[in-house]
Chains A and B, each alone.
Chain A
Amino acid sequence: MNSLYSRLRGTAVWRSVFRSGTGDTNLHRSLTVQQNIFLHLASVKIRRRALEFGVTWYLGTLSMASFVILVVTGVLLMLYYHPSVPQAYADMKDLQFVVSAGVFLRNLHRWAAHAMVVLVFAHMFKVFYRGAYRPPREFNWVVGVMLLLLTLFLSYTGYLLPWDQLAFWAITVGSNIISAVPAMGAKIRFLMLGGHTVNANALLRFYVLHCVILPLIAAVFLAVHFWRIRKDGGLYTGDKPRE
């Protein structure tokens, strides 16, 4: 089994894709991380203590995981969804009653979205209480706050998309708060909704924000966030040395 695996890793095709080569030395292990576009944001080595559950509760990891789940389920949902009135609502019904595993897909997206909001908040508080925000990690904390806001915006824009009573009135209430901004509140609200009320324009606008603009911005911020973990000295493991 193992020899088959190593032989496979030795083939020309495999080596053309993964540059780490055969062998189980630390060099090879380092190369898998270093030579991988997705993993190279992380350092090759990591403090043993940073892997302990109690230190981070893996909240950042789990936040990222829910983001990935949301991207995957979200893209699948886009296959069934029209951002128009009232077809959007009819699509919800189709997902529920006709599409294979449609309900499951929607459930997973919805609950993962709630989970992400909770996890990101929890991540923030955990980082604060550990003191992990302090210099030299102060800028990464700011990036984190931006990611928290992005998470909220993503969730909020997605909330309107089913176009049911719950969605419509939640967005109406939320957008009414914005119009309280002095001087330009009404303008901002108009810009956000594409009209004076929550209507088909708002649905389209929220759809584009939810599916394209905000995820792209979030992806950029996430990349910076991970990169800065490494550049700011790795995961913060606390003041006290291990016994």
Chain B
Amino acid sequence: MSFRVRGRRVRKWFFGDSARAFGTLGVLLLALLAIVPAKDRFREWLGYQKEYEILIRGRTDGVALAKRFQSGVQQIWLPERDVTDRCMTCHTRLKETSLAGVGQPFRPHPPIPHSLTEFGCTICHRGQGVATTVEEAHRSTKAWEEPILPAQYSEAGCGQCHRDGLKGTPQLNAGRVLLARYGCVNCHRLVSPEGGASQGTDRPPSLKRIAEKTTREWIYFWIKDPQAWAATATMPNFGLSDADARDVSAFVISQSSPGSIAPAVATNDAGAAAGAELYGESFCASCHAMQNAAGKITGGDLAPDLTRVGSKVRPEWLAAWVKNPAAYLPGTMMPHFRFDEKQIGLLVSYLGRKQDSYFPANIRLEPATAAQIAHGQKLVLEKGCAACHEMNGVARPDNFAPDLTAVGSLPPARVLLAPGVPRTLPDYLAAKIREPHAFGREMKMPRNQFTDAQVEQLVTALLAQTSRSQTFPAALRRPTPVNVTYQPAGRAGQLMKDLRCLSCHSINGTGGSMAPDLTWEGSSVQRAWLLDFLKNPNTLRPVLIRRMPRFNLSNDDASTLADYIMTAYQTPAFDREEVDATKLTPTEASRGKSLFYGKYACNSCHIVDPDNDKGYIGPTLTQAGTRLNAPWIFHWLKNAQALRPGSLELNWNMNDEDAWAITAFLMQQKNTRKPGGER
């Protein structure tokens, strides 16, 4: 029987007449309809739940786990937060800590202070909560534009509510610091839900009198590549061509208002050696870095690198600056050292010789033409220089760059495409920060040399800027602690402002973090010691290199300052004069000594006997008796954090008898000698 004939017979059997066709098609239809429940039977989540049951069956704690396991679709429904999360359908036991070693989707959630059922999953992690398939729940689709947040940016989820710098989110906090420090927020608006726009912390200098300070050649060199001049520079690289840099430098010099040229200062090599000594004694290195002979950069990062400062600034400007920085730049962080003319001469001699041979030899600029200046001005407007730097005749542009307030919710459809960059929001942000011109030469955004870790930090901070974060109820938000700017009053206040105490110290929540908090300093120390310290500071902590500079204060100024500190900065918790003499007996002191070396082992961190003690972590206590007040020591021992939040001092929970005994012992320490035999 040929194939054809058989085929015809088969067809006749199935479709020979209407009734047969009806029967055949009916059976076919029923078979197809049977696929529908079968499809349901093989849903992804059912497979995962089955896998979980097999997983726990083999475990010793399987019975307990099985008892807590709930099959079927699980969901967290929080209508007021727009959350319908079915993630726990597959991520079955997020709370089973005993499953720690197990892979996804059964891995337990790391411990967090929030309850899963109170917030759901997608508020922090994004993704499509209602979905019950892997693809729809995690990836971006036509119906869902917020794919799951990659694990390395998880802290962005916290950042939506927390602007208070959580301990657990170092990456986010660092990213926010970078956004302010590298001046991103000078061009981009970034508004918090409370309404305030973020402010930069980079303090770009005003250029209104720049011609007094430096030369056009230096500006040319600098704007072409700021990091080539100083690796710590926060100014980004605009990728200017030689001609563009020439024109911009021409304009910058031409807009500078003619200032009073200070008389030149005589410098000499002998002065340079003495100037180096003065530089060291004045602890300039607490803030300024400099490359030493070995090529290593040492010093602080609060102020500009001074390795090649002689090639940068004019000597007459340097002299005027060292004399009183605020005269040139009122907002500077640099203190007003009371240097005399001779000392200024020494410093200028020293710093003026910190030069770079490359710079004057290789950069020669012809005098600028009007056309070049005009072109430079056009470039300055185009590049938005005035968003950071004050300039004559150029207004600060508003909304120069895109608003980043809700950049974390940028829909993938609006993410730009570049070759080699996956089309996801985090990848886009990272690529844009790393190389802005990857998205087109015409992009105005300049480039900063960030490390990969810094890029990740910045992306985390930006991803936290979701549109959802703007609409969270106030009860959920943890705003940035409000900075009530503290400004000391009166003549002492003027003096403290002049000395820029708050550049390093903080008082009442305002100020720097380099030096100790002075909020309760008046309760802590004795006046005589303070006066002496102000006139001739020396470090209390042996391990620290940074020390307080000497400001060459007059006796009058020093005592004004000391009086003010002693009266204004007292804690309400106790009175520093209130000492019960019976507590500070020699018997008590000797008991305190044994407690100091024995029970509490204070000598692990502190030095009392400069010859034998090796505690280098805490402040030296050799002169505690002349420096500190007894009630301060007592309360410090009871609870140091109450007096100075964030202190490294352990919370001893000491009883009163022990605390008084140690206080008595310490009040005996009136040694003027420092460890190592110095002074």
Contact = CB atoms under 8 A, between A and B. Distances in A.
Q: A and B touching (C-beta < 8 Å)?
A: yes
Contact of B132 (A90, A97, A100): A97
Given A90-B84, A164-B143, A101 B36 contact: yes
Contacts of A94: 130
A97 B36 contact: no
A100 B43 CA distance: 10
Interface in B115-148: 130-133, 136, 143
A223 interface: no
A77 B606 CA distance: 77
Interface residues of A, number: 10
A90 B37 contact: no
A128 interface: no
Point out which of B39, B130, B132 has the most chain A C-beta atoms below 10 A from its C-beta.
Answer: B130
Interface string A77-103: 000000000000010011011101100
A90 B130 contact: yes
B452 interface: no
A6 B506 CA distance: 103
Contacts of B132: 97-98
B592 to A, nearest CB: 70
A128 B458 CA distance: 68
B86 A97 contact: yes
Contact of A97 (B37, B39, B136): B136
B84 to A, nearest CB: 7
A101 B84 contact: no
A110 to B, nearest CB: 15
B340 interface: no
Contacts of B130: 90, 93-94, 97
A104 interface: yes
Interface of A is mostly: helix
Contacts of A164: 143
Contacts of A97: 73, 86, 130-133, 136
Interface of B: 36-37, 39-40, 73, 84, 86, 130-133, 136, 143
A167 to B, nearest CB: 12
A94 B39 CA distance: 16
A96 B73 CA distance: 13
27 contacts: A90-B84, A90-B130, A93-B84, A93-B130, A93-B131, A94-B130, A96-B131, A96-B136, A97-B73, A97-B86, A97-B130, A97-B131, A97-B132, A97-B133, A97-B136, A98-B73, A98-B86, A98-B132, A100-B37, A100-B40, A101-B36, A101-B37, A101-B39, A101-B40, A104-B36, A104-B39, A164-B143
A134 to B, nearest CB: 30
Contacts of B73: 97-98
Contacts of A96: 131, 136
Contacts of B40: 100-101
Contacts of B84: 90, 93
Nearest to A100: B40
A101 to B, nearest CB: 5
A17 B39 CA distance: 39
Nearest to B129: A93
Contacts of B36: 101, 104
A44 to B, nearest CB: 18
A118 B192 CA distance: 53
Given A90-B130, A97-B73, A98-B132, 19 more contacts: A90-B84, A93-B84, A93-B130, A93-B131, A94-B130, A96-B131, A96-B136, A97-B130, A97-B131, A97-B132, A97-B133, A97-B136, A98-B73, A100-B37, A101-B36, A101-B37, A104-B36, A104-B39, A164-B143
